[in-house]
Structures are given as structure tokens and as C-alpha cells.
Chain A
Amino acid sequence: MENLRRGVQIIFFVLSVLLFLAARYPYSGAVEADILLRISPLIPLFHFIQEFSLSWVFWPALIVLAATPFLGRFFCGWICPLGTTIDAASKAVKSPSNRISGTWEKLRYLKFALLVACIILALFSVHVWGYLDPLSIFNRALTVIFYPLGTLAVDQTLLAATKVPVIETPVFFLYDLFKGNVMPELQAHPAQVFWIALFVGAILGAEKLSRRFWCRNICPAGAWLGFLSQFRMFERIVGDACPICNKCQTECKMNAIPGGDVKHTSKVECIDCFSCGAVCPPKVKAITYRWRWKPYHTPVDITRRQLVRTTAWSALALGLLSIGLKNRDAKNKQIRPPGSLPEDQFADKCIRCQECVRICASNGGCLQPDSIQSTALDLWLPVAMMRDGYCEYNCNLCGQVCPTDAIVPLTLEEKQHMPIGLAHFDKNLCIPYAQNSDCIVCEEHCPTPDKAIKFDLKETTLRDGSKRMVKYPFVIRELCIGCGICENKCPLPGHAGVFVTTENQRRVGMPTLETQTPESLPYG
């Protein structure tokens, strides 16, 4: 069983990575790249709190939830790619056995406390659980850390190797193979690398304290599945042959076997990894697993006192999250992907998984994990940073891979008529205005069928008295969709002479003040 479990873990891990790699242009959607994000058991729970309904969109998670009362936390042990990564980290850092790490047992309640806190906040429409969602964390780590690191390592190594004359041709062949099939994108430079790396590093590094430290003590998805597993029917049975060598107890990944009572299992903690059966000495083999129609019950590890304390803390957090700065300047620069829900709903639905950042044509240029601007909940929401990358006119992929539809999928034509912002010229910087010399790079790149940037050809008198004809650009508000290619391509070295703000943005589901007339032509 243990080998089978390992095999399934590897399959789901590889599948997650393959789906991550599949989230790129050209994306047909035949295989939905976000399908394994929608397996997160937290999503249906919080979706229900938000909408009081179950959505079949989350069918992978619903299957997991339906099976959990019978099988227990098999999701954590067999499927969760973060769990698999944590297992690998555990091997790498050589986690201590439960004899040493047992002291952390007192932290177990924390995951329930966090789940309760997330639920309380969600009831007041503040959604923080996405930060702690294991699938979201895994995808976030891939997008912001591992994929860019991989590109860096592979690109640089192979390109350095091409400098050696003898192997130049085979290495370039390898390079082309790699760039053609595995990592076609340019090097990404995502924002928030440090903080996300610290976050993921802490999760993996905690393996030095105990095995599955995150899963035992913090993961709210684990808590939710544990809560559902209290009466699970698939049980570990310890036969009379057991000499109580305690090997299963000390080796248990989740410390789910109570010290001094190896015949019991905490159903709330056990993740069905079957390591106990494997470590049971071959001559004894006292451990078997079987169905029981009258299962025993394991209570959830949280005391009433801890619950009350959690509620108090949640109220405080709720208060703090609600009194954040209302910075209009910052809001003005928070350009969201095309098709995003109105800001409050968007922040509620987004689980910060960075799948949109991953698939963005700019590859870590345009869409970036946001930093804290005015409220803590801004953190890691996708934000468009046009100076580093622009929104590709013919691309609508971010909405297609959003697992929770915080970004609603748009057809290309809808997207091309959905302004995400508005460009403005800074005449103190813009070359024609500031230097009286032609430039017009912004106008050249403007992708709308009728350019949103036009220019006046005007005669200007230079300081030496001579005259010159210069093209002075300006923006036509009704045509601009805020794609930001103007800001991105502006040849000024630092701050661009043209920049995009959220002004004139249109969000899905928001009544529009100005009626735009979509032209009838389909644009290629």
C-alpha cells in the first residue's frame, strides 16, 4: 500500500506540474489547466459561505469531500502536491522522529483555530483563506519561484555551455528542444519573490522541526478534512500480535498514533499514508486496515477555551483589516486583469494562486503578485505592472484559467472592448513635449483598430529660435483599453512618459456609465 500511495503521490505531483506547464500560449482549454486547483477542498466550503450554493465547477473538490468521511484525509497523503513537496523536503532535511518532534503536538489546535478564523472572517466577507490554501501555495511557489528559477538555471547553463566550441551544436540542439517544448518563455522576473520564497521556505523548512509540520499544525484544508474524518470508516486495526515496539508511533508522518496507545489512531490527523503498516516489523505484521460499519470517533483537537480565544482574535483581525488606509493614489495604480470582478468581490474570490500570472503572455512582466498597498488583503492579488510588461491585445487567457472565476472568462472580442484602465501622458517626461523631438513609439504600438493614441503635428519654436514640426501624442479616452503597451514601450529609461491608471476601467458585472459601441469586425 505504501508503494501504491507513493506512486499516486508522484502521479498527482507530476500532473500538477504538467498542468502548470500547459498553462501557456497556445492554450486550447481542451485540458483545463486549473482543474487541479479546483480540487482544493477549501474552495467549495468558502464558495458556499459566499453564495450559499454548491457549484459543480468544483467537482474535483466535491469528490474529495464526499469520500473523506469514509476514507479520512487521503487527500493530504495521496493527492496534495504541496504535501508531496513537503515529504520530499522532509527527506532532504532529515526530519526528526516523533520521539523528538512530539513536543509540537500542542500546536495541533492551530490549524482548527485558523480554519475557524477563516470561516469567521469569511462570514463577514473577508477572505484570507486563499493565502493558506495548499493548492494555491503550490501553484504560487511554482509560478513565482520554481519556474523562474528553472528557466534561469537551464537557460544560463546551456547558453554558457554553447561557448565551448566542440559541443556548441549539440548544446544548441538541447537548448532549442528545451525552449521549444518545456520552457519557451523568456526569463520571468516576478514581484514579491522574496516574501513568497520566505513563505514557501518556511513551510518546507519547518520539516526540520517535525515531519509534515505544515499539515499537522497549520493547514486549514487539513483541518477541514480532519473535521470531516472524525467518524471515518476505514480504520487501522492493530492485532494482538503487536509487541508494542512503538515503531509505528515514532515513524507516523502525522503523529496520529497516540504515544502509549499504539492501538488507536487519531482519525482527524491520519492521512492514510500506510507507513505504519510498512514499518511494522516483518515478523510481526500486526497492522491491518479494514472497513468497519461502526467506527469509533476521534474528536477534533481544539478546546472550548482555544475556540473562544480564536473567535476573539478573529474579531480583532476583522477590525484591523477593515480600518486599512484608503489610498486613492495606490488604488489608482492597481490595474486588475481584464474580466476581473468588482474590486471587493475580486479580492474575496481570488485565492492568490497566481495561475493568471503564470499564463500571462508577458510572462511575469504585466501580471504580478501585488504588494500591500492600502490593505493587507492587496497582498498577492494579480496586478498589472505595465512598465514591465503589457496586456497582449489578442490574449484573453488569464480569465480562462482562474479556478474561482475571480477573473471571468471573456471572449477575445469582449476582452478587446473591456478597458482595464486609461493611458495618460506625462508631458513633463514625454519626449515630444519635454524635448520637442519626434518619438511616437507609443502610437506605433497602440493595438486598437482605431488607434487610441493619436498625435497633432504642430510647429514648435526651439530655444535657438529655429522652427521644427513635431508630433505631439494624446490619448482618446473612448478608444483606450488600458493595455499599457504604450507605457511598456516608452523609450525613456525610467518613469514612462505615458502611464496607465485604473481610471475608466470596466469590471465584469458592474453597470457601465459610458456605453461603448463594439465594432462589428472580429479583430485578428
Chain B
Amino acid sequence: MNRRGFLELAGASVAGSALLSQTLQPLFAASTPPPHAVWVENGEPAALLSAALKEMGGVSRFISRGDVVVVKPNIGWDRAPQYAANTNPDLVAAVVRECLNAGAKTVKVFDRTCNNPLRCYSNSQIEQKAKEAGADVSQIRENRFVDKAINGEIIKQWPIYKDFLEADKTINLPIAKHHSLGRLTLGMKNLMGVMGGGRGDLHNDFQRKIIDIDRTILPTLTIIDAYRILTANGPVGGNLAHVKQPRTLIMSQCVVSADYLALDLFGLKVEEVNLVGEALKRGMNTFDVKSLNVKRVRLA
């Protein structure tokens, strides 16, 4: 091939491919609206997250430049990551990185813990790994709870953490665990970590109270960490025999839908998990769970 021929071919192919992509892109987009939820399995936490976000249409769908983002993992217990009592620290770090890459101004990470807060932050490895990823990790300050009007069926007003209320975007990042009271603890229960006041007071008539509060503080995105799950002795665990490794991640903009999907991890039906059932009954879900559009991905 002579030089002229080469140049013509090259030019034509560049132009052609550009044209092709121009025409194909809207076609693609039109044919696949982002799913209601994504279920990704068989991968490491960061890979699970990036695959899920890709299916969801990219992190920029949720996080805009200059946003103040709150990432709310479960840091409730003084347990090392392998005991599946707290959210996977690598996943927390990966979420922080994605948010910062999408241009978030700051990413705050905190949780109101059940055990000693210093020990929980440290032993869960979330403090260290989220800080390394660039997050602003801080302890809960009791003076930063503000009374928020709830006007629910039972709860009329409840203290909520100010940083959570003031954030531009909130990412709910629970771990899927066994829990004796509600059978499971998932996304809806995880939001308890931003609630102040007497926690035990929420424990009778639990479902109705939690839903009362949850529906006024719904997160932008819920990501359920099921890299490891705790199948018994929850929510604090402590026995490795109760830990399973589905290496899975569930993501949805609707916390109820995400929780609904997570029931599959434990082989439970919605009738068996009161909190999810009650939430559906009260119409807290954004999507109809009967016709949920779930994109399922299995990583190689």
C-alpha cells in the first residue's frame, strides 16, 4: 500500500467509526434505560462496585461536581472485617474513591456505633481505609443531632445527624446480616446510624417506627455489601462459622427494592422479614418490586 492509500483508508476509518458511534450511542441508550437495581456477584469489593455503577449508568448519575456526600456504612461493632459485622472496609474505600472521582467536594463517613466508637472505627478498618481513600471520617458528636419533624404514624419528631441532613447526596452502605428482631438487618435498618435519641426506644413497634423515620431521610443510593454476610448470631456475630461469602453487591436508588432483593441472599421470603413487608405495605418503595428491572451480572 502506498502512502496516499494508507492515509485515505485511515481517514475514512476514523470518520466512519466516529460516525458509527455517534449513531449507535443514542440507539444503545434508548434501548437500555438504567435498571431499577443491579445485582453483581463473584468479585472483589471494588470490582463489584465499579461493575454495578457501570450498569447503573455511571457514578455521575448520582454524584455531581462539588457535592457534599455522606457515605453511611455500618461501623456498629468492635469486630474485624472477616466477622461480617461491619461493612467491608474495601468497599467503603471504593465508594469514597468513586465519589471523589466524580467530583464530590467532600465525602463524609460516620456511624453511631453500638460498641465503643474508637474501637469500632479502628477494628472495622473503615476509619483507616476510608481516610486513605480521601474521606473525612469523624466520630459522632452528640451536639450535631437536630430534631427533625417526622410526622409518621408513631414518631412525630426525632433527632437526626445534621451532616446527613445537610449533605447534597447520601449513600447508604449497609452489610447484609442476620438480626433476631427483624430477622435481617439491611438498608432500612442501617439508617438507624444517623438517628440520635434513645435507640432502645425504637425497638418496640420497631418496623413502624423505623419506617416513619426512614421515609423522611431516604438516601440517594443504597449499596448493600454482601461480599460477606452474617447468617446467624447477628447483628454482632463473632463466629466465623456463621459468615458466608456470596461476594455480591446490590445497588438501587430505592432502599426498599435493594432490601427486597437482598432477601435472596438468605433464601428468605418477604413475609418472613417484617421490615421489608411493612415498607412495601406502606408504599415506601420507589419501584414496584413485582416488576423490578434487575440487571444481574456475574463477574468472571
Residues of chain A having any CB pair with chain B under 8 Å: 25-26, 159, 176, 179, 184-185, 361-362, 392-395, 431, 435, 437-441, 443-451, 455, 471, 489-492, 521, 523-524
Q: Chain B, interface size: which category?
A: 35 or more
Enumerate the 7 nearest inter-chain pairs by beta-carbon distance, A residue then B residue, closest first: A491-B200, A524-B80, A449-B239, A449-B238, A361-B116, A437-B204, A394-B78
In the complex the two chains form, what is the Cα distance from A184 to B115 in whole Å?
A: 15
In the assembled complex, the CB of A159 is this many whole angstroms from the nearest CB of chain B, namely 6
Most chain-A Cβ atoms within 10 A of its Cβ — which of B138, B141, B179? B141
Known A-B contacts A159-B143, A439-B203, A450-B233; the reply to A521 vs B239 at CB < 8 A is yes
Residues in A whose Cβ lies below 8 Å from that of B179? 444
Residues in A whose Cβ lies below 8 Å from that of B235? 444
In the assembled complex, the CB of A498 is this many whole angstroms from the nearest CB of chain B, namely 12
Cβ-defined contact, B78 with A491, below 8 A = no
In the complex the two chains form, what is the Cα distance from A362 to B117 in whole Å?
A: 10
Q: List 29 A-B contacts (CB under 8 A).
A: A25-B118, A159-B141, A361-B116, A361-B119, A392-B115, A392-B116, A394-B78, A394-B79, A394-B123, A437-B204, A437-B205, A438-B203, A440-B181, A440-B203, A441-B203, A443-B180, A444-B179, A444-B180, A449-B233, A449-B239, A450-B233, A450-B239, A471-B180, A491-B201, A521-B240, A523-B238, A523-B239, A524-B79, A524-B82
In the assembled complex, the CB of B190 is this many whole angstroms from the nearest CB of chain A, namely 14
> B158 at interface (Cβ–Cβ under 8 A)?
no
User: Which residues from 32 to 56 on chain B have a C-beta closer than 8 Å to any C-beta of chain A?
Assistant: none
Q: A25-B116, A448-B238, A489-B114 are in contact. List 4 more A-B contacts (CB 8 A).
A: A25-B122, A438-B204, A491-B199, A521-B240
Cβ-defined contact, A445 with B114, below 8 A = yes
Cβ-defined contact, B238 with A447, below 8 A = yes
> B198 at interface (Cβ–Cβ under 8 A)?
yes
* Interface contact tally, CB-CB below 8 A: 89
In the assembled complex, the CB of B16 is this many whole angstroms from the nearest CB of chain A, namely 55
> B160 at interface (Cβ–Cβ under 8 A)?
no
Cβ-defined contact, B181 with A447, below 8 A = no
In the complex the two chains form, what is the Cα distance from A523 to B123 in whole Å?
A: 12
Per a CB cutoff under 8 Å, which of A392, A444, A449, A523 touches B119?
A: A392
Cβ-defined contact, B82 with A489, below 8 A = no
Residues in B whose Cβ lies below 8 Å from that of A447? 236, 238
Closest to A432 in B: B204
Residues in B whose Cβ lies below 8 Å from that of A361? 116, 119
Cβ-defined contact, B200 with A26, below 8 A = no
Cβ-defined contact, B200 with A524, below 8 A = no
Closest to B143 in A: A159
Known A-B contacts A25-B116, A449-B233, A521-B240; the reply to A489 vs B200 at CB < 8 A is yes
> B206 at interface (Cβ–Cβ under 8 A)?
yes
> B164 at interface (Cβ–Cβ under 8 A)?
no
Most chain-B Cβ atoms within 10 A of its Cβ — which of A185, A361, A392, A444? A444
Residues in A whose Cβ lies below 8 Å from that of B227? none
Residues in B whose Cβ lies below 8 Å from that of A440? 180-181, 203
In the complex the two chains form, what is the Cα distance from A176 to B108 in whole Å?
A: 14
Cβ-defined contact, B139 with A455, below 8 A = no
Per a CB cutoff under 8 Å, which of B119, B200, B206 touches A395?
A: B119
Residues in B whose Cβ lies below 8 Å from that of A451? 233
Mask of B72-83 contacts with A, CB within 8 angstroms, 1/0: 000000111011
In the complex the two chains form, what is the Cα distance from A184 to B116 in whole Å?
A: 11
Cβ-defined contact, B114 with A394, below 8 A = no
Closest to B179 in A: A444
Mask of B59-82 contacts with A, CB within 8 angstroms, 1/0: 000000000000000000011101
In the complex the two chains form, what is the Cα distance from A280 to B53 in whole Å?
A: 82
Residues in B whose Cβ lies below 8 Å from that of A521? 239-241
Cβ-defined contact, A184 with B238, below 8 A = no
Per a CB cutoff under 8 Å, which of A179, A438, A491, A523 touches B139?
A: A179
Mask of B173-192 contacts with A, CB within 8 angstroms, 1/0: 00000011100000000000
In the assembled complex, the CB of A24 is this many whole angstroms from the nearest CB of chain B, namely 8
In the assembled complex, the CB of B111 is this many whole angstroms from the nearest CB of chain A, namely 16
In the complex the two chains form, what is the Cα distance from A26 to B238 in whole Å?
A: 20
Residues in A whose Cβ lies below 8 Å from that of B198? 491
Closest to B233 in A: A451
In the assembled complex, the CB of B281 is this many whole angstroms from the nearest CB of chain A, namely 18
Per a CB cutoff under 8 Å, which of B78, B83, B205 touches A392?
A: B78
Cβ-defined contact, A445 with B236, below 8 A = yes
Known A-B contacts A444-B181, A450-B239, A451-B233; the reply to A491 vs B83 at CB < 8 A is no
Closest to B204 in A: A437
Closest to B116 in A: A361
Most chain-B Cβ atoms within 10 A of its Cβ — which of A159, A438, A443? A438
In the complex the two chains form, what is the Cα distance from A286 to B164 in whole Å?
A: 73
Residues in A whose Cβ lies below 8 Å from that of B116? 25, 361-362, 392, 395
Closest to B240 in A: A521
Known A-B contacts A443-B180, A444-B179; the reply to A393 vs B78 at CB < 8 A is yes
In the complex the two chains form, what is the Cα distance from A524 to B180 in whole Å?
A: 21
Residues in B whose Cβ lies below 8 Å from that of A443? 180
In the assembled complex, the CB of A97 is this many whole angstroms from the nearest CB of chain B, namely 49
In the assembled complex, the CB of B278 is this many whole angstroms from the nearest CB of chain A, namely 14
In the complex the two chains form, what is the Cα distance from A443 to B178 in whole Å?
A: 12
In the assembled complex, the CB of B87 is this many whole angstroms from the nearest CB of chain A, namely 15
Closest to A184 in B: B118
In the complex the two chains form, what is the Cα distance from A393 to B85 in whole Å?
A: 14
Residues in B whose Cβ lies below 8 Å from that of A431? 204
Residues in B whose Cβ lies below 8 Å from that of A448? 238
Known A-B contacts A392-B115, A449-B233; the reply to A26 vs B122 at CB < 8 A is yes
User: Which residues from 187 to 217 on chain B have a C-beta closer than 8 Å to any C-beta of chain A?
Assistant: 198-201, 203-206
Residues in A whose Cβ lies below 8 Å from that of B119? 25, 361, 392, 394-395
Mask of B129-150 contacts with A, CB within 8 angstroms, 1/0: 0000000001101010000000
